[in-house]
């Protein structure tokens, strides 16, 4: 298929690479040009501006936050100039409000909007093993199924209203953030009693919590190793903030999200915005007076 | 081996049964007599009082809380009348303070104290697949290894200070309570947006959170099924309370534990003390104005 791809950060670049490898023809655009050039070396066409990428049957985007979506899709005229019938597959974690807004705008322009946010860190994206939660027009989802199969291990269908996939994605990222905070508090508790965080986390992630989230992040927390980041503190804060917004819109108090939000803010105040979001654990270490990556210069 | 066993609740009875099946000779005592009679039918001797069970080489206990330990081990004279050299293996989740106190008392009386708290619900105990975190005198631990192998799938050694095992056990139960709360808040968020809790929890426990805690409790939460309880709200509150105490003793703030403690209290105020602790999730549902097991009469 002929596919436009906008947004070539760590995740976007890995996904676009897998689409090229699966034999699709890509038109790529990125704000900074270097990743687009890397994909050109694999055979992609580099678009001079975002709207130029929106051709063929499908446009995939992986942009960082709601503002970037508004700037590129609306501000830079992508939706305005896209050919009628184009399927816009949004892979990013966006707010429920933005998902509704984009779906409505797409419909006005004769485009199909599919929300397909993905679970998985960059190394998972590279190996084509993402989990994709997808919602939108069933016919459009049917047509993009080969693309989703090329980037993910499994697709989880969630119905025909795109924002349903976004709500589930927000709930999932909120649960990951809670796991990070819980591991961080538990690690501080045991460390303050003379036990290494890794001794405790190894028991947990080897038994009751034997799952990717606790294994992968438990190791980062035990080793206090937060760079290079797979997913930054800034992005973690963004996702918890839009989970809180989704909660507020539907009158759902989320006390764990409030705690996590404040701990992300403290980490940003300590200038740790580019650390992996697993560093949330270091805020609890700092609060307990333990050696913490929040205190290093 | 000749083993005393005190405390035959759901967990204790299952563990004692596996010890009998492994060929050990048991002297059992329980506050209410019915479970002791069941074990007598399997070949155990029923002790007339707690101190009478403390004979042979090993005494295992599985009592509900710190108060029960003080009443039985100290108040009812078990430690006072136990034969010198007896190894007391405490399987329960007790406070760090009590673990230190019992270890010191045992040493005074010429007994060995081994902390061996277990992870796993009653059905896991029945199948002999518990995970045991163990700490105490290495020689004593070596001698009880066949017993631990009879009740658990794996033993996790944590050193020679008994309270180290208790700290890890408290951290683990705190992490489970946090997982319950996170699933509860996430479930409320998606339900308020018209998505069934099970749709979201199935994605999570099938992917990033594919582990016993999220699978087993995710299903209970999705089905809002909290009776019969594997582990009650009362016991959950007890464990979070002693985690908070362990935090206070070492100056470790635990904001997630505070949220969870208050939600357990709200559930008890709604007279749900005998629900499974997975019902913690129902407090978030109630707060969001959703149909909740906290509101049923």
Interval B197-206: pLDDT, tens: 999 999 999 9
pLDDT of residue B295: 86
Instruction: Kindly indicate the confidence band of residue B134, based on its pLDDT and cuts at 50, 70 and 90.
Output: very high
Contacts of B171 in chain A (CB under 8 A): 186-187, 189-190, 200, 204
Using CA atoms, how far apart are residues B79 and B138, in angstroms rounded to an integer? 21
Across the interface, whether the CB atoms of B256 and A185 are under 8 A apart is answered yes
Above 90 in pLDDT, residue B119?
yes
Whole-Å CA distances, B90 to A261, B118, B225: 39, 10, 31
Residue A74's nearest CA partner among A96, A98, A91 is A98
Whole-Å CA distances, B65 to B99, B161, B227: 12, 20, 22
Mutate which of A119, A131, A165, A168 to test chain B, going by most B C-beta atoms within 10 A?
A168
Across the interface, whether the CB atoms of A175 and B209 are under 8 A apart is answered yes
Q: What is the CA radius of gyration of chain B?
A: 20
Catalytic residue flag (residue B169) = yes
Contacts of A217 in chain B (CB under 8 A): none
ipTM of the complex model: 0.96
**Distance from A7 to chain B by nearest Cα, in Å?**
24
Across the interface, whether the CB atoms of A182 and B188 are under 8 A apart is answered no
pLDDT of residue A295: 86
**Distance from B47 to chain A by nearest Cα, in Å?**
35
List the catalytic residue out of A129, A169, A215, A238.
A169
| Whether residue B228 has a cis bond before it, omega within 30° of 0 | yes
Across the interface, whether the CB atoms of B256 and A252 are under 8 A apart is answered no
**Distance from B146 to chain A by nearest Cα, in Å?**
20
Of B133, B185, B256, the CB nearest to A203: B133
Residue of A nearest to B155 (CA): A203
Residue B241's nearest CA partner among B117, B63, B67 is B67
Across the interface, whether the CB atoms of A246 and B189 are under 8 A apart is answered yes
Of A164, A176, A257, the CB nearest to B195: A164
- pLDDT more than 90, % of chain B: 98
DSSP assignments along B158-202, one per residue = --S-HHHHHHHHHHHHHHHHHHHHHHHHHHHHHHHTT--HHHHHH
- How crowded is residue A139: how many other Cβ atoms within 10 Å of its Cβ? 10
**Distance from B214 to chain A by nearest Cα, in Å?**
8
Residue of A nearest to B194 (CA): A164
| Whether residue A228 has a cis bond before it, omega within 30° of 0 | yes
**Distance from B100 to chain A by nearest Cα, in Å?**
13
Chain A / chain B CB contacts < 8 angstroms: 201
Residue B279's nearest CA partner among B288, B289, B292, B262 is B292
pLDDT of residue B176: 98
What's the average model confidence in pLDDT over B185-203?
Answer: 98
Quick one: three-class SS letters along chain A?
CEEEEECCCHHHHHHHHHHHHCCCEEEEECCCCHHHHHHHHCCCEECCCHHHHCCCCEEEECCCCHHHHHHHHHHCCHHHHCCCCCEEEECCCCCHHHHHHHHHHHHHCCCEEEECCEECCHHHHHCCCEEEEEEECHHHHHHHHHHHHHHEEEEEECCCCHHHHHHHHHHHHHHHHHHHHHHHHHHHHHHHCCCCHHHHHHHHHHCCCCCHHHHHHHHHHHHCCCCCCCCEHHHHHHHHHHHHHHHHHCCCCCHHHHHHHHHHHHHHHCCCCCCEHHHHHHHHHHHCCCCCCCCCC
Using CA atoms, how far apart are residues A254 and A181, in angstroms rounded to an integer? 14
Above 80 in pLDDT, residue B297?
no
Q: Which residues of chain A have pLDDT under 50?
A: none
- Kindly report the pTM of this predicted structure: 0.96
Across the interface, whether the CB atoms of B287 and A252 are under 8 A apart is answered yes
The position carrying tokens 């599919």 is: A114
Using CA atoms, how far apart are residues A152 and A18, in angstroms rounded to an integer? 10
Across the interface, whether the CB atoms of A247 and B189 are under 8 A apart is answered yes
Using CA atoms, how far apart are residues B235 and A219, in angstroms rounded to an integer? 30
**A164-213 pLDDT tens trace:** 999 999 999 999 999 999 999 999 999 999 999 999 999 999 999 999 99
pLDDT of residue B238: 96
Burial class (CB in 10 A: 0-12, 13-18, 19+), A48: exposed
**B265-296 pLDDT tens trace:** 999 999 999 999 999 999 999 999 999 999 86
Whole-number mean pLDDT of chain B?
96
């Amino acid at each position: 298929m002929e596919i436009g791809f906008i947004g070539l950060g760590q995740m976007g670049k890995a996904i676009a690479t897998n689409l090229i490898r699966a034999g699709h023809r890509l038109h790529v655009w990125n704000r900074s040009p270097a990743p687009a050039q890397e994909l050109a070396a694999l055979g992609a066409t580099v678009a001079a501006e975002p709207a130029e990428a929106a051709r063929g049957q499908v446009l995939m985007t992986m942009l960082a936050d709601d503002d970037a979506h508004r700037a590129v899709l609306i501000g830079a005229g992508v939706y305005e100039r896209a050919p009628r019938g184009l399927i816009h597959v949004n892979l990013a974690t966006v707010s429920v409000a933005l998902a509704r807004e984009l779906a409505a705008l797409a419909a006005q322009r004769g485009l199909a909007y599919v929300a397909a946010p993905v679970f998985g860190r960059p190394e998972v994206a590279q190996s084509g093993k993402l989990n994709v939660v997808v919602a939108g027009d069933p016919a459009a989802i049917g047509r993009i199924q080969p693309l989703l199969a090329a980037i993910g291990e499994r697709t989880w269908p969630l119905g025909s209203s795109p924002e349903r996939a976004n709500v589930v994605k927000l709930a999932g990222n909120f649960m990951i953030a809670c796991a990070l905070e819980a591991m961080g508090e538990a690690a501080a508790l045991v460390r303050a009693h003379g036990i290494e965080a890794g001794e405790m986390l190894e028991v947990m992630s080897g038994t009751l919590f034997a799952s990717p989230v606790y294994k992968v992040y438990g190791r980062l927390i035990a080793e206090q190793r937060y760079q290079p980041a797979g997913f930054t503190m800034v992005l973690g804060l963004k996702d918890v903030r839009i989970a809180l917004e989704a909660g507020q819109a539907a009158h759902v108090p989320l006390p764990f999200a409030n705690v996590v939000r404040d701990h992300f803010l403290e980490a940003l105040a300590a200038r740790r915005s580019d650390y992996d979001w697993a560093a949330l654990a270091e805020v609890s270490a700092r609060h307990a007076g333990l050696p913490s990556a929040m205190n290093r210069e």
